[in-house]
Amino acid sequence: MIRACGACGQKNRVPAENLADSGACGRCKAPLTPVAEPLNADPEFFDEVVKGARVPVLVDFWAAWCAPCRAAAPAVKQVAASMTGRALVLKVDTEAHPALAARYDIRGIPNFIVFKQGSPVFRQAGLVDQTQMELWLKQASSEAN
């Protein structure tokens, strides 16, 4: 993933396994903070993050036309911010990437899956709140590797 430095604007390549880590800009050495927002994922980026992340990954399968998906979006964004450095959050638009949704047998949206070390560990279809999403991520973090 390419992340721009907030201080100098330099574009820095950050591998998937480091998205939840603090780093430094390659040019000015200013801090690059861990990702603190949901990331839109196409199949290639999805695979890179889910397989490479050293922290649990919450994936929100959604579509723009889905009212419950739109209702869940603020909570998904809050989870990404509150779990910064401890988890990553991806959003997969099922209309734009139907094959990725089919790979995980997504039949109803919103649909949430938590991955740890590339494998699904929690799954829930339907609207859930921020507390529930954070609980899944905390439980995935605490499970033995």
Q: Domain of 85: which CATH number?
A: 3.40.30.10
Give catalytic status of residue 8 as yes or no: no
Residue 17, token pair as written in the block = 């396994």
Q: Are 112 and 123 in contact, with CB atoms under 8 Å apart?
A: yes
Closest CA to 108 of 59, 62, 41: 62
**Within this chain, do residues 89 and 114 fall inside the same structural domain, yes or no?**
yes
Which residue segment(s) compose the domain that 22 sits in? 2-32
90 and 128 in a common domain? yes
Query: Is there a single domain that holds both residue 67 and residue 127?
Result: yes
Q: How many structural domains are present in the chain?
A: 2
Examine the domain organization and report whether 59 and 82 are in the same domain.
yes
Query: Same structural domain for residues 43 and 109?
Result: yes
Helix (H, G, I), strand (E, B) or coil at 141: helix
Q: How far does CA 120 lie from the centroid of its chain?
A: 13
CA distances for 54 relative to 21, 24, 28, 60, 111, angstroms: 10, 19, 26, 19, 22
The pLDDT value given to residue 75: 98
Residues 25, 49, single domain; the answer is no
Statement to judge: residues 59 and 97 lie in one domain = yes
CA distance 76 to 71: 10
For residue 108, the SS3 value is: coil
| Residue-level pLDDT, tens digit, the chain, 145 residues | 999 999 999 999 999 999 999 999 999 999 999 999 999 999 999 999 999 999 999 999 999 999 999 999 999 999 999 999 999 999 999 999 999 999 999 999 999 999 999 999 999 999 999 999 999 999 999 875 5
pTM above 0.85, yes or no: yes
Q: What is the pLDDT of residue 138?
A: 96
